[in-house]
Chains A and B, each alone.
Chain A
Amino acid sequence: DAMVIQNPRYQVTQFGKPVTLSCSQTLNHNVMYWYQQKSSQAPKLLFHYYDKDFNNEADTPDNFQSRRPNTSFCFLDIRSPGLGDAAMYLCATSRDKSAGAINQPQHFGDGTRLSIL
């Protein structure tokens, strides 16, 4: 089945120690998104890629970076995790992002739950 896969499901890191979360997709979608979701809150968009074009949300901290080496893979790098970065991180994809494609849902992975010690 075509899908969005996130690894690992659970990640524990130390305060200030860089961590990378990964996402892969077999849907061949052009757009990949990274969201941060804290407990009992809605997901918050951090950034997205349209093909290789990176788009950062205005309020995303510099501590968060992303890489998309090819269509299938996208990585979230947290350079110096703080306690406030403990959250669920969700990767999503969509075929297109234009105004003509607003009927397309985003397809989410299972998420990576990040804990900071």
Chain B
Amino acid sequence: AQKITQTQPGMFVQEKEAVTLDCTYDTSDPSYGLFWYKQPSSGEMIFLIYQGSYDQQNATEGRYSLNFQKARKSANLVISASQLGDSAMYFCAMREGEEDSSYKLIFGSGTRLLVRP
């Protein structure tokens, strides 16, 4: 079974509008961490935001926020006031708290976001 599922292969958003990128995860571990990364066409992988399984509040970093719904096992990324420079591939990823596999960052298949002027 897929551990990280991103159901939107591609998304469009109008500049200055907000957009939500979906991510659902599957783990039986009570301790885990969820990450979002941005990858522009140039290739570098940029860390955006982190949410821990025990965090009580949704994470926010500037224009990025994470809509964390633990019971639904979802961790959607919300980008507010989209900018042209937000056009990129976005990956949701997870680290599980199992000692033997905690080093591993499990990636989803990604969502390509295109911001329209």
Q: Are A111 and B47 in contact (CB under 8 A)?
A: no
Q: Are B103 and A31 in contact (CB under 8 A)?
A: yes
A110/B50 contact (C-beta < 8 A), A45-B105, A99-B99 known: no
Q: Which one, B13-21, B38-46, B64-72, B77-85, is touching chain A?
A: B38-46
Q: Are B102 and A98 in contact (CB under 8 A)?
A: yes
Chain B residues whose CB sits within 8 angstroms of the CB of A105 once the complex forms? 35, 47, 50
Chain B residues whose CB sits within 8 angstroms of the CB of A102 once the complex forms? 31-33, 52, 95-97, 102
Q: Is B74 an interface residue (CB 8 A)?
A: no
Q: Which of B45, B95, B99 contacts A108 (CB 8 A)?
A: B45
Mark interface residues in B102-117 (1 if CB within 8 Å of A CB, else 0): 1111011110100000
Those of A37-88 within 8 Å (CB) of chain B: 40-43, 45, 48, 50, 55, 88
Q: Are B104 and A45 in contact (CB under 8 A)?
A: yes
Chain A residues whose CB sits within 8 angstroms of the CB of B105 once the complex forms? 45, 92, 106
Residue among A43, A50, A94, A111 with most chain B CB within 10 A? A43
Chain A interface size band reads: 20 to 34
Q: Are A101 and B102 in contact (CB under 8 A)?
A: yes
A81 nearest CB across to chain B (Å) = 19
Residue among B45, B97, B102, B105 with most chain A CB within 10 A? B45
